[in-house]
Each structure stands twice: as structure tokens, then as C-alpha cells.
A = this chain, B = another copy of it.
Amino acid sequence: MAERSMIFPAQEYRARIDRLQAGMAQGELNALLLSAPADIFYTTGFLTRFWESPARPWFVVVPQAGDPVAVIPTIGADLMGRTWLRDIRTWQAPDPRDDGITLLADALAEAVPEGGRIGLPMGQETHLRMPLAGFETLAARLAPRSFVDATDCVHRVREIKSEAEITKIRETCAIAARAFDRVPEFAKAGQSLAEVFRSFQIALLAEGADWVSYVAGGAGPDGYGDVISPAGPQRLQQGDVLMLDTGAVRDGYFCDFDRNFAIGPASGPARRAHAALWQATEETLAGLRPGLRACDVHRMLGEGLQRRSMAPSAGRLGHGLGVTLTEWPSFTPLDQTPLRAGMVLTLEPGCVTGDGRIMVHEENIVLREDGAELLSRRAPSELPVILS
């Protein structure tokens, strides 16, 4: 019961807090208020699927100096007590009179002088995971302290993965690679997509995933309509291209990559699209370097497709990866985020294969000083064929 529940030793978390506190000092923040599951996991190691319940808010306060304070519902006290945190304050949630607001206001008031600044992630890719009315009460209670945006402060730290984190993501990628190897066992013409999705999740678990937070995919002749759909009753047919995409989880770390399969002999357009996606990825893998910006990667992938007479699909062509399925930056023409060594990224080119149809391709990498290092086992250069 008193068994510790730590993904990493305490020094890993202390190093993260040190880096956050350095960013806070630069941003003149007296404290950081975190409420999102990923931020709380990142700073404490508190890992639970209980986030599925929207009933209760949870908080971590990072002061300008010293260790973080957890302000959480009593139901989490046992589990948080097994992390490296020592200052854990609890209330019996849900409480319609005061759902942790007084407890949190007190913790923040201890850390932040009157007139001081409290950093809160408020920008792109963030949400405040507490009732808005509760936040408004909190802000009024803490005035003249002010809340200021701390998105950059958190993102610049979380986007650089430690070697321990990279090892975890590599392990999750290996689990998914083994599960993809087994797709030909259960994805046959005549099978419903629902059964294929179920079998794929079972394969991921059997290969070592703790849980499977994300599976999407599609199937159709020469491509599919979108890449975020759950499975419908549709059955696989000869001539379909099947795509499966997964965010499996091991020790709280995600993979995020997909694979394509031809059901029966592959059509010419499907083979050509797959080859173009693979080659554009290959060139980008070779060209990635710290100092490029996110938008440069979008351009590299897009030009690689265009050189092979394929039209890139709209939207982003990859993103960050780590303790959530997707993280910043986004490989779009608009994202100027500089790439730095230690970032874990997905390369996810997509191309148009027909009217309303696309094909996508994805790999996971860590960016090193001298270029990209694959974390996912590289897809085959030719579209694999499943014969029934």
C-alpha cells in the first residue's frame, strides 16, 4: 500500500521543476497554477485514468522556489502520496459549497505576494480543467495578484524530453510496431472495421500497452475520407486501403503513428501514394536539424510530395508527442516554433488520392543535435498487401 508509484526517480521531477522555475524567473512569475492532466503528470508522476471522470478539479502549484504543492480531492491522496510530492492538501470533493477554491487560494497566497503574478497556461493547446465559475471566484479572491499566460513557460520545458522520457516513448513505439505486425492476422476482406479495431487494440494490449487511448482509421479504395473516425459497421473489401492509427500508452507515455495495408493486391494509385509519402518522409528524416522551424518541416514534407506529383492534404503534417497523443508544435505553414534537440515529433504527411480521399503516413522521431533518430520502426517502403 505504501509502495511508491513512480515512473521515474524523484530527481527526474526535480530537474523538471528546476527548468520550470528558471522559466518562471524569466517570466517574472511567482507561481504556476497547473490543472491539466498532462501538466500534473509531468510535474508529479501522478498517473491515473481517473481523469475520465469530469467531477473533480485537481491542482498543482509550482512556487518560484521549492517543491510543488498538490491541492487535490481526498480520493487521490493515497495515490499522490506515493509520488515524490510531500505537500499534499486535500478536500472532500465534489463539494458544491467550495470545491477546493479556498484551499487553492490559500496555497497560491502563500506562494505569491500581493500584486504578484500567477502563471497559468491560457494559450493554444491548453485548457483550464476546472469550472470557469470557480476560476473567476479564485481570481477575485487572489486580487490584486494577477493571472498571466504561462503557455510558453510550460511548453518550452515540456517539449524537450529527457533521455528517460525518450526511452519510454521508444518502448511504446515498439509495442505498437509489434501490434502492427499482427494486423494481417485479423484484417481480411469481409471483416468489419469494428472487429479490426477491436483486434488491433487487443494486439496492442497483448504486446504490452498499459492502455489504448487512441485508435482511429479508415478504409476505402485508394484511400479514406478522414483520419479521426471510429470504426463503423463497414466491412473491408478487396481493393481497400486500410489505415490504422494508434496512441497506445505505457507508463503514461504515448506513441502516435499509423500504418497502411492493401486488402488484396494494391492498386496503382495506392502504391504510388504510399511510395510518395514514404519518400517524402525519408527526405525529411534526412534533412531535419535543430534550428529549423516547425513551418520548415511542413514545407519539406509538402515539397517532397509535390516533387512526386502528389497534392499534400490540408492541415498539419505532424506535431509534438509525449505525455499526450499530440503536443505542440504543429507542422503547418504558420507555426514558427524553433526545433530543438530533445523534441519528440511525428512526421505525418498526407496526400490527396481522389475525390474526398486521402492517404496518410506517420513516423515518430526524436530530434538530436545531428538530426532525426527514429523512435517508431520505419514503415516498409512499399505498401504491404494482405492476401486473404
Residues of chain A touching chain B, judged by Cβ–Cβ distance below 8 Å, are 1, 3, 5, 36, 38, 47-50, 52-55, 73-79, 92-97, 99, 120, 122-133, 135-136, 149, 151, 194, 197-198, 201-202, 205-206, 209-216, 220, 224-232, 234, 247, 314-316, 319, 324-326, 328, 330, 332, 334-335, 356-357
Contacts and interface: CB of A to CB of B under 8 A. Distances in A.
Contact of A129 (B127, B202, B214): B127
A196 to B, nearest CB: 12
A104 to B, nearest CB: 15
A135 B124 CA distance: 11
A70 to B, nearest CB: 14
B194 A198 contact: no
A79 B149 contact: no
B130 A326 contact: no
Report how many copies the assembly holds. Answer: 2
A229 B48 contact: yes
A334 B202 contact: no
12 contacts: A48-B228, A49-B214, A49-B216, A53-B326, A54-B125, A54-B126, A54-B326, A55-B124, A74-B315, A92-B315, A198-B206, A198-B210
Given A48-B229, A78-B356, A228-B76, A125 B211 contact: no
A128 B125 contact: no
Contact of A79 (B38, B75, B229): B229
B315 A55 contact: no
**Nearest 8 interchain pairs by C-beta:** A78-B226, A50-B228, A122-B132, A53-B326, A122-B133, A52-B325, A1-B225, A78-B225
A197 B123 CA distance: 36
A205 B120 CA distance: 39
A302 to B, nearest CB: 14
A230 to B, nearest CB: 6
A319 B55 CA distance: 9
B126 A128 contact: no
Contact of A123 (B1, B133, B206): B133
Contact of A1 (B36, B201, B247, B356): B356
Contact of A202 (B125, B130, B202, B210): B202
B149 A124 contact: no
> In this complex, which of A47, A94, A357 has the most chain B Cβ atoms within 10 angstroms of its Cβ?
A94
> In this complex, which of A124, A197, A214, A247 has the most chain B Cβ atoms within 10 angstroms of its Cβ?
A124
Given A201-B211, A210-B230, A314-B74, A357 B52 contact: no
A193 to B, nearest CB: 11
B94 A54 contact: no
Contacts of A52: 213-214, 247, 324-326
B334 A227 contact: no
Contact of A94 (B49, B130, B330): B330
